[in-house]
Amino acid sequence: MNNNTKKTFNTYWQHIKKYKLSGFVIFISIIIGVITNIWAPLLYKKFFDILTGSITVVSQTDALIEILYNILFIYLLGWVFWRLATFTNSYFQTKIMADLTNTCFSYIHKHSITFFNNNFVGSLVKRVNRFSRAFEGIADALTWELLPALINIIAVTLVLFSRNSILGLAILIWVTIYITINYFFSRFKLKYDIARSKMDSVVTGVLADSITNQLNIKIFTGYEREKKRYNKVITKLQKMRRFSWDLGNAFEAFQVLLMIFLELAMFYFAIKLWQKDLVTVGDFVLIQAYLMTIFKQLWSFGRVIRHFYEHLADAEEMTEILETPHEIQDIARATNLEIKKGMIEFDNVDFSYHKTRKVIKKLNLIIKPQERLALVGESGSGKSTIINILLRNYDINSGDIKIDDQTIVKVTQESLRKNISIVSQEPILFHRTLKENIRYGKPNATNAEVFKAAKLAHCNRFISEFPEGYDTFVGERGVKLSGGERQRVAIARAILKNAPILILDEATSSLDSESEELIQDALNSLMKDKTVIVIAHRLSTIMRMDRIIVLKKGKVIEQGSHSELIKKREGVYNRLWTKQIGGFIA
């Protein structure tokens, strides 16, 4: 058992422990149910022994009818306990599957931006779904296949030993050989099942990536290329599946031969014993019934073991994620951020996405309480990076970032982000209603507050054009809205949140001139009494900022108001401004 398998079982066990009583009821009910299945053939043996005269009774008819009543009682008893097991299992497994899915959901969302950048969304979704379904498969195998098989084998062996030690020993040796071969074959096949499972995730990722980028495929006529790319991975998966299935088919053929030889051998020995009056005709019925029971259990045993390991292989991909430590974590006893003024300080900060390339170098910057600060610079200068490290989407390599003298690594991420509103360049909306998307900024907001925020962000005009108004679903990632409409919804969300620190990352970049003019009024109201950081390539939007910081390769190279910076004839800001008023986009 490899380390990930142990971790998978440990994770499952931690969730099972919450429902120990249900598990115990299922366990006991199955044991009793299986015993009734073993008990019934013993009565049938007696039934046929009476019919053939092997057992002498006063009245054959009365004895036979009494046996039938006993068989009915045993079957009804078994029926009761099997039903108890199945209904209890419905509660047991569905609760644990829901808990496992919630655990995966909670843990994945605590991972960093880097983690999500390195994993396909479709692949992550499939891993989460597989993890709970793998538990269902493993639990079913243990509950309905392996446990009954074990009890049946033990009970049958004991009964046959009581009839004749040769018969008991024969079945015990055969079962031991059969299970041992199945076990080692399943272990051998496991590495191919794991490889197939990983390839299945790759195929899902490629499919999700192509669907997400379907517009690019159309624009750049990439249909044939994407079709070939997908066909390449799906063909590889098909070959891996076929090889895995062929292994299983070959082994099943071998199993059938083992069963044929066992059945004939058992009856051969039984005939020899019958000749010596050591067994009766009823024993033949007993042997046949028990062989059919064992064959039924063990025929699926090999397949169950293989599926058991396949489910483990499916689960282990998610286990790897659950065992991957979160890159960005709250320290022990982290406090809640409390903002009284809103001063932000970057003290000698270094940061790099990769070890070889620093993006921020020895940054020293103080943003005064309620100051409106703009960050300007060419692409790659570090503007968005400053926002990311302030939000702790990434942790800095060295230095310190403080808000009101509170180091951000010593406060909870939840409280940090709760105190910061952000309107990004490309706002992503949930596939929910407009009302729900706006209210996401303040979950307990009233409808009146939502409508007021939407009106301030000038959303009400386009919302009123939808037949369902605020109850209109916006589509996945907000695709049913235009870029400008999405941005206005994002601004309404920020207005509703009303956090003391506000970040505007190209907040008006997707708006036409008329809409931008309307929104500027809303933004001016939104920025009132807040510490504001604005990123904008369109310099006309930041002329009225208190201070403008010009960045180049992660360093501050110029700072001042618009009027101060424009006077520096050889300055970078002046050059950028000249380009824009000359009709170029910086």
**3-class secondary structure, 7:** helix
Whether residue 486 is predicted with pLDDT greater than 90 in this model: the reply is no
Check: CB of residue 128 under 8 Å from CB of residue 105.
yes
Q: What is the pLDDT, as a whole number, of residue 585? A: 41
> What pLDDT digit, counting tens, does each position of 338-383 carry?
999 999 999 999 998 876 678 898 999 999 999 999 999 888 888 9
Per DSSP, the residues of 437-477 read HHHTTSTT--HHHHHHHHHHTT-HHHHTTSTTGGG-B--GG
pLDDT of 290: 80
* Of 261-265, 428-432, 470-474, highest mean pLDDT: 470-474
Residues 6+ apart with CB under 8 A from 405: 343, 345
pLDDT band at 407 (very low <50, low <70, confident <90, very high): very high
What's the pLDDT band for 402 if we cut at 50, 70, 90? Answer: very high
Pick the residue with more confidence: 74 or 300?
Answer: 74
Closest CA to 186 of 295, 294, 299, 307: 307
Q: Which of 29, 56, 30, 288 is nearest to 144 (CA)?
A: 30
Structural domain boundaries in the chain: 3-322
Q: Read off the pLDDT of residues 96-130 as tens digits, 9 standing for 90 and up.
A: 999 999 999 999 988 888 888 888 777 788 889 88
Ramachandran region, residue 119 (left: φ > 0; alpha: ψ -120 to 50; beta: rest):
beta
Using CB atoms within 10 Å of the CB of residue 131, give its burial: 0 to 12 exposed, 13 to 18 middle, 19+ buried: buried
The SS3 call for residue 566 is helix
Q: Of the ranges 130-144, 486-500, 567-581, which one carries the lowest mean pLDDT score?
A: 567-581
Give the integer Cα–Cα distance in Å for 270 and 286. 11
Q: What is the pLDDT of residue 510?
A: 58
Question: Which carries the bigger pLDDT value, residue 322 or residue 166?
Answer: 322
Q: Decide the pairing of beta strands 501-505 and 531-535.
A: parallel
| CA-to-CA dists, residue 275 to 9, 280, 368, angstroms | 52, 10, 104
Residue 415 near residue 337, CB atoms below 8 Å? yes
Categorize the per-residue pLDDT at 235 as very low, low, confident or very high, splitting at 50, 70 and 90: very high
Report the predicted TM-score, pTM, of the whole model to 2 decimal places. Answer: 0.74
Q: Is 382 exposed, middle or buried (0-12, 13-18, 19+ CB in 10 A)?
A: buried
CB 365 within 8 A of CB 549: yes
The answer to whether residue 583 scores a pLDDT higher than 70 is no
Higher pLDDT: 302 or 335? It is 335
Q: Is the pLDDT of residue 155 over 80?
A: yes
Q: Model confidence at 76, in pLDDT bands (50, 70, 90)?
A: very high
Q: What is the model's pLDDT at position 520?
A: 73
Return d(Cα 163, Cα 335) in angstroms, integer: 73
Total Cβ atoms within 10 A of residue 82:
17
- The pLDDT value given to residue 293: 80
pLDDT band at 433 (very low <50, low <70, confident <90, very high): very high
Backbone angles phi, psi at 237, to 5 degrees: -65, -40
Find the range with the poorest average confidence among 72-76, 209-213, 348-352.
209-213
**According to the model, what pLDDT value does residue 582 have?**
54
pLDDT range class, residue 584, cuts 50, 70, 90: very low
Burial class (CB in 10 A: 0-12, 13-18, 19+), 503: buried
- The per-residue pLDDT for 104 is 93
Task: Give first-to-last CA distance, the chain, whole Å.
Answer: 59
Percent of the chain residues past pLDDT 70, beyond the cut: 94
CA 305/CA 185 separation, integer angstroms: 9
**Best CA proximity match to 188, nearest among 124, 251, 117:** 251
DSSP string covering 118-152: TS-HHHHHHHHHHHHHHHHHHHHIIIIIIHHHHHH
Q: DSSP character for 433? A: B
Q: In residues, how long is the chain?
A: 586
Predicted confidence at residue 586, as pLDDT, reads 39
Q: Does the pLDDT at position 524 exceed 80? A: no
- pLDDT of 86 reads 95
Question: Cα angle at 72 between 66 and 74, to 5 degrees?
Answer: 105
* Residue owning tokens 């970040």: 503
φ, ψ for residue 233, nearest 5 deg: -75, -35
CATH, range 3-322: 1.20.1560.10
The pLDDT of residue 368 is 95
| 274-298 pLDDT, tens digit each | 787 777 777 777 777 887 788 777 7
Asked if residue 434 has pLDDT above 70, the reply is: yes
- Which of 50-59, 448-457, 506-515 is predicted least confidently? 506-515
Q: Mean pLDDT check: name the lowest of 93-102, 180-189, 457-466.
A: 180-189
- Measured from the Cβ of residue 79, the count of other Cβ atoms closer than 10 Å reads 12
